[in-house]
Amino acid sequence: MYCRKSTDSEDRQVASLPAQIKELTEIKDREKLNIVDVYQESHSAFHPGRPMFNEMLERIENGEADSVLAWATNRIARNSKDSGEFIYLIDQKKIKVVKTKDRTFYNNSDDKFTLNIDFTVAKKSSDDLSAVVQRGNREKFFERREWGGVAKIGYLNYTDPISKKKKVISDSSRFQLIRDALHLMIYKGYTPMEALDVLNNEWQFTTRKTLKLGGKPMSRTSWYDIIKDSFYFGLMERKVDGKKETIMGIHEPMISEREFEKLQVRLGRKGKPHYTKKNFAYKGVLRCGECGGSVTCYDKWHIVCPKCREKFHKGKNTIQCPKCGMFIDEMKNPTIYHFVHYECVNRKKGNNCSQGTLSLDELEKKIDKEIGRFEIPEEFRNWAIKYLNELNSEEETRDSSVKNDLKKAYTDADTQLKNLVRLRISPEYNSYDSERKSLYEDEEERLISLKKDVKKKLDESDNDQEKWIKLSKETFDFVTYARYWFEHGDVKDKTLTLQKLGSNIFVKDRKLWIDGNQSYFLIEKGKKEALKVANEFEPGKYTELEPSMLAIDTVCQAWRRGRDSNPRWV
């Protein structure tokens, strides 16, 4: 007798193991079968490798039994290897009868064919189910960026009572304790085991209690798993369609990516060998001003040994101090330095380029200085947008007569063309000579071309007006909030901010060079003129634009002056 269910959760199976045994026992008693042994296991049959099933086949091959009683054929096999081995034992006359709750299969060609079909249908069902599961996993991982599976320590699985959607949330009673323990290593120099001792013994941490596990202090293995897991700074890693994929999740991160990298340095031999998922700002945007090559980015970690004070580079395989031999993960409060450098790829490859490296701090100071050239207060931005709307209204009034003339020209051309078409389809047109017909054809082509030209000018007039006001507002938004976006944004925000400053951004002689955006140049020019006028009015009072300056009429006039003659300066 062979009984199987796919998982340990009985509610995941139509018939649990006790239910299968009960039904099969009734068949045994009714038909007076001699059962040699009863096998029952909780194991998926999607893939080969069931221990009880393999043992049963081995005993059948040895002659201990010659028939199998199962609840259904899909309990026996759902993959080609197991089903092939089972059918082969029937061919070898090792198995004479296969009995299920619905049918009996004997060792003849018709029954073996039917049994093969049942196994194939079960395999097809498994394949279809696998495809559905994989599609769901892909959608959950890539589209919704949700973690599928049991929540990690410090998090909980949660199902919304209304929408029934499942997600991972922070465990309010454990999340902060684990974060604080990680911070002991990151900021206070604790070793991993010292931080774990504080977590368990001083803060009385216990894992979440489940039916079979939990309710105990954090184990050493679980602690190291947490420290090495990128999930805790937001990056999810899992196999999708047999391939390892990574994506930033939507769950609350426990630490930052920078803190995670520092932890890997602190772990030494027990940490991740090398964390390669780097996403540096400005990479791909900067060019070398000397040779025109791309500017690449790399980072380095240096450690100062607390025992011998030796400073050394933490490479991929560096696990201990090269001077005294002390392991990094055993160091108490080591000094750790992190450097990010930008360098021309041609110099890095050993080619002829004399440009040196530029640190991230130096580069960002230069970018911030560039932004400061045209940064304006929010009050100036609001005033400028209001003024632009006024200019837009004035220009719409001026353009109204032009548009009316264009519309009249379009209507006239359309009327003439229709009259010409009526004439061409009239009976007398056929009596005209070739020269006169040619004149009509030329006139028709001229009117069609005229209609197209007038329609194009009308469309361009509308589009230019919309584009002008949109670009103007976007420009003033950028110069007002660029510094905030730059200071508080992520890698993508910082890179985009630099790109918006202008084209042909390159580094040469440790300086940043940008072919600036013309609109930003005009704003910078307007700032300087407004400051000059304001200080003429009140000498030495102003060094930067201030909202109070808008009360000075001459400042407003100066701010307008660069645009009055041609408001479409953007």
Mind listing the pLDDT tens digit for each residue in 347-371? 766 677 888 889 999 999 999 988 8
Strands 295-304 and 335-344: antiparallel
pLDDT in tens, 294-343: 898 888 889 999 999 999 998 878 889 999 999 998 888 899 998 899 99
H or E, element range at 463: helix 434-488
Name the band, by pLDDT with cuts 50, 70 and 90, for residue 396: low
- pLDDT at position 14, please? 53
CATH topology of domain 155-270: Hect, E3 ligase catalytic domain fold (3.90.1750)
Which residues belong to CATH 3.40.50.1390 in the chain? 2-143
- pLDDT at position 545, please? 82
H or E, element range at 512: strand 511-516
Question: Long-range CB contacts (< 8 A, 24+ apart) of 152-160?
Answer: 152/226, 152/229, 152/231, 152/232, 153/178, 153/207, 153/208, 153/218, 153/222, 153/226, 154/178, 154/179, 154/226, 154/232, 154/254, 155/251, 156/208
Is residue 176's pLDDT more than 80?
A: yes
- pLDDT at position 491, please? 83
Give the chain's mean pLDDT: 82
CATH topology of domain 2-143: Rossmann fold (3.40.50)
∠ CA 184-185-189, nearest 5°, is 95
Say which residue, 55 or 425, is predicted with more confidence. Answer: 55
Is residue 128's pLDDT more than 80?
A: no
pLDDT in tens, 57-116: 999 999 999 999 999 998 999 888 999 999 999 999 999 999 999 899 999 999 999 999
Read off the pLDDT of each residue in 371-388 and give the average, rounded to a whole number: 81
pTM over 0.75: no
Which residues belong to CATH 3.90.1750.20 in the chain? 155-270
CA dihedral for 261, 263, 266, 267, sign (positive or negative): negative
Residue 406, classified by CB atoms within 10 Å of its CB into exposed (0-12), middle (13-18) or buried (19+), is: middle
- pLDDT at position 554, please? 73
